[in-house]
């Protein structure tokens, strides 16, 4: 099994961290290929909870080489805070590799993120405020600062000057903020340069050599399909490629290397931030789901918006990612419902849609067409075999599999590493 991608099939927080962690002991490298510390992955091992933001979830598996790929945007202070916190808990982070081509988040990117959100007012995206979008904007505008620039102070100052030039005009004249100096930014970035240096390498070369040697590489996405800058609910998206294609560009490996694309999907749906969400529940049931599922953001602590499972989105995620498997998470959260509605299509101004509308306004106007399935009352958190699930829970999973177009290979019944029902091995 060469390269496997694990990604989110909805709007994030599907449980990618847990899925990656479970495969950790059987892979050689785990690569984060997109996003930055906007992500928040919770992994629970033997009752111990770890919240990871910038580091790949594979960091928790002894023996794995964790890799921060070129597609990631790196906040150095956050990186070392996270490393120090894990080391203090006895996790060995010494094998971490960081791409020399990854972009750096500077203080001015965080400032721009915050002021633009404030100025957008009602049209705000609801970003995590970590400077993610502005850093990717700099990358695409070709004024980004990369990890390798840290090791030549002259070049670093030149790049920072280029990046700040226009921004200071905007900050001072439009946003009424103080100008940010080249010196303070260079000083901020250099604080961690020497600590970072031994980790920096050509990670694309390392990964391709590992694949050539028959090693297994797991590519772990941050965010999710519906937050992808191309395929998500633009403009209410993040600024990176969170879909399967992003794994290739963000890690520097070719598509022919990828054997398996695993979509992680919740048994219902959540979203953080603004933007359309057809199956959203704004009533007591939505609050019940939030409480039952502990749906509060790992990164910002914001309450997550909640709604029913949406099979249109599952089919869309299957299509744009070429999914080979689904991991269905949080089935245990639905325990106790008499009936469980599932969205099978949309009604858009009287017209039935079975596929994701290609026009964003249609998606905003989409009303879900629900099918109601039977619920179950039994506690399923200790179940480890599919046929031990209550009959209604089995029927729920099989119905979702049928409507989503991809086989459900694993089912999560609790946050712990072991709380999973495996139907098909993801690595063979």
Q: Which residues bind ligand IMO (CB under 6 A)?
A: 8, 12-13, 38-41, 125-128, 130, 132-133, 222-224, 227, 238-239, 272-273, 298
Q: Which of 29, 41, 53, 103 is catalytic?
A: 41
Q: Which residues in 311-370 contact ligand GDP (CB under 6 A)?
A: 329-330, 332-333
The two three-digit tokens of residue 411, written as one number: 């089912």
Answer with the entry of Mg ion, ligand IMO, ligand GDP, none that 15 interacts with (C-beta below 5 to 8 A by kind).
Answer: ligand GDP
Q: How far is the CB of 17 from ligand GDP (least distance, A)?
A: 3
Q: How far apart are CA 107 and CA 184, in angstroms?
A: 9
Answer with the entry of Mg ion, ligand GDP, ligand IMO, none that 186 interacts with (C-beta below 5 to 8 A by kind).
Answer: none
Answer with the entry of ligand IMO, Mg ion, ligand GDP, none that 132 interacts with (C-beta below 5 to 8 A by kind).
Answer: ligand IMO
Q: Which residues in 278-317 contact ligand GDP (CB under 6 A)?
A: 298
Answer with the entry of ligand GDP, Mg ion, ligand IMO, none that 36 interacts with (C-beta below 5 to 8 A by kind).
Answer: none
Identify which range of 38-46, 53-61, 104-112, 172-180 contacts Mg ion by CB under 5 A: 38-46
| Of residues 252 and 273, the one with the C-beta less far from Mg ion | 273
If binding is defined by CB under 6 A, does position 10 make contact with ligand GDP? no
349 is catalytic: no
Q: Which residues in 274-333 contact Mg ion (CB under 5 A)?
A: 298
If binding is defined by CB under 5 A, does position 40 make contact with Mg ion? yes
Q: String of b and e for 118-134 (b: at least 16 CB within 10 Å)?
A: eeeeeeebebbebbbbb
Q: Which residues in 93-112 contact ligand GDP (CB under 6 A)?
A: none
Closest CA to 333 of 15, 6, 10: 15
Near ligand GDP by CB under 6 A: residue from 3, 8, 11, 66: 8
| Of residues 167 and 266, the one with the C-beta less far from ligand IMO | 266
Near Mg ion by CB under 5 A: residue from 13, 21, 75, 220: 13
Question: Do residues 162 and 141 lie in contact, with contact meaning Cβ atoms separated by under 8 Å?
Answer: no
Give strand pairing partners of 368: 346
| Of residues 285 and 298, the one with the C-beta less far from ligand GDP | 298
Q: Which residues in 391-420 contact ligand GDP (CB under 6 A)?
A: 412-415
Q: How far is the CB of 405 from Mg ion (least distance, A)?
A: 25
Answer with the entry of ligand IMO, ligand GDP, Mg ion, none that 126 interacts with (C-beta below 5 to 8 A by kind).
Answer: ligand IMO
Q: Which residue number is nearest to ligand IMO in terms of Cβ?
A: 273
13 is catalytic: yes
Q: Which position has the token pair 């990176």?
A: 240
Closest CA to 105 of 61, 52, 151, 147: 147
User: Which residues contact ligand GDP by CB under 6 A?
Assistant: 8, 12-18, 40-42, 44, 298, 329-330, 332-333, 412-415
**Among all residues, which ones are annotated catalytic?**
13, 41
User: Which residues contact Mg ion by CB under 5 A?
Assistant: 13, 40, 298
């Amino acid at each position: 099994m060469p390269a496997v991608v694990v990604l989110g099939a909805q709007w994030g927080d599907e449980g990618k961290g847990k899925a990656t962690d479970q495969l950790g002991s059987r892979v050689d490298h785990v690569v984060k290929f997109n996003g930055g510390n906007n992500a928040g992955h919770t992994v629970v091992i033997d009752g111990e909870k770890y919240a990871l933001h910038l580091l790949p979830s594979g960091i928790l598996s002894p023996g794995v080489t964790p890799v921060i790929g070129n597609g990631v945007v790196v906040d150095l202070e956050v990186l070392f805070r996270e490393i120090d916190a894990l080391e203090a808990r006895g996790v060995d982070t010494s094998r971490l590799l960081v791409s020399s081509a990854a972009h750096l988040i500077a203080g001015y990117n965080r400032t721009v993120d915050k002021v633009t959100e404030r100025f957008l007012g009602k049209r705000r995206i609801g970003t995590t405020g970590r400077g993610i979008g502005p850093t990717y904007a700099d990358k695409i505008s070709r004024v980004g600062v990369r990890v390798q620039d840290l090791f030549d102070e002259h070049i670093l100052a030149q790049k920072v000057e280029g990046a700040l030039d226009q921004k200071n005009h905007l900050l001072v004249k439009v946003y009424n903020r103080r100008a940010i100096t080249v010196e303070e930014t260079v000083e901020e970035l250099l604080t961690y340069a020497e600590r970072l240096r031994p980790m920096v390498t050509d990670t694309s070369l390392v990964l391709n050599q590992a694949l050539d040697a028959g090693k297994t590489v797991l590519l772990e996405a941050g965010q999710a399909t519906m937050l992808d800058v191309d395929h998500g609910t633009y403009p209410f998206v993040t600024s990176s490629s969170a879909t399967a294609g992003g794994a290739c560009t963000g890690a520097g490996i070719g598509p022919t290397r990828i054997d398996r694309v695993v979509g992680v999907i919740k048994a219902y749906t959540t979203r953080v931030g603004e933007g359309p969400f057809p199956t959203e529940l704004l009533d007591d049931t939505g609050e019940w789901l939030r409480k039952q599922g502990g749906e509060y953001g790992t990164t910002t602590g914001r309450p997550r918006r909640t709604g029913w499972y949406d099979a249109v989105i599952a089919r869309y995620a299957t299509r744009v990612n070429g999914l080979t498997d689904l991991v269905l998470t949080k089935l245990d959260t639905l325990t106790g419902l008499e009936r469980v509605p599932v969205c099978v299509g949309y009604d858009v101004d009287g017209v039935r849609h079975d596929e994701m509308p290609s026009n964003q306004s249609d998606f905003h106007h989409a009303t879900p067409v629900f099918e109601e399935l039977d619920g179950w009352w039994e506690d399923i958190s200790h179940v480890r075999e599919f046929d031990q699930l209550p009959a209604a829970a089995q029927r729920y999973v099989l119905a979702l599999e049928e409507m989503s177009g991809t086989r459900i290979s694993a089912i999560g019944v609790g946050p712990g590493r072991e709380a999973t029902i495996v139907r098909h091995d993801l690595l063979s």
